[in-house]
A = this chain, B = another copy of it.
Amino acid sequence: MDKLSALSAFGALSQETRLDVFRLLIRAGEAGMLAGEIAEALDVRQNTMSANLSVLLSAGLVKNTREGRAIRYFADTDGLRGLLGFLLQDCCGGRPDLCGPLIEDIACKC
């Protein structure tokens, strides 16, 4: 992950529809969702959603795969991991004991 990719990822997540999409896809997990389903779920026009999905795609935050006429989208957890790794690079100055608590309790409490 380089700085430019990180900037585009944060930019992607800084817009309401795209943040909604990403969180929706995180919740959808491995099942993912079709582009049309996403647009309908969030009540956003088809072309607007398409543009937003392509922003998330080029930011490395979602993946997709064609499924007949439709296209299924998934959250790209590897991309997210890379982003967070970049953000927290050298966070502990050689002292992992300072670093651990920083990311503890992030996981969902399910």
Contacts of A11 in B (CB 8 A): 10, 14
Is there contact, CB below 8 Å, between A80 and B102?
yes
The oligomer's copy count stands at 2
For chain A, the count of residues having a C-beta within 8 Å of the partner chain is 43
Please name the residue on chain B nearest to A90 by beta carbon.
B27
Is there contact, CB below 8 Å, between A107 and B103?
yes
Bound Cα distance from A89 to B23, whole angstroms = 8
Please name the residue on chain B nearest to A78 by beta carbon.
B102
Q: How far is the CB of A89 from chain B (nearest CB, A)?
A: 6
Q: How far is the CB of A16 from chain B (nearest CB, A)?
A: 6
9 residue pairs, one from A and one from B, having the closest CB atoms? A11-B14, A10-B14, A10-B13, A84-B106, A26-B91, A27-B90, A14-B14, A77-B102, A94-B110
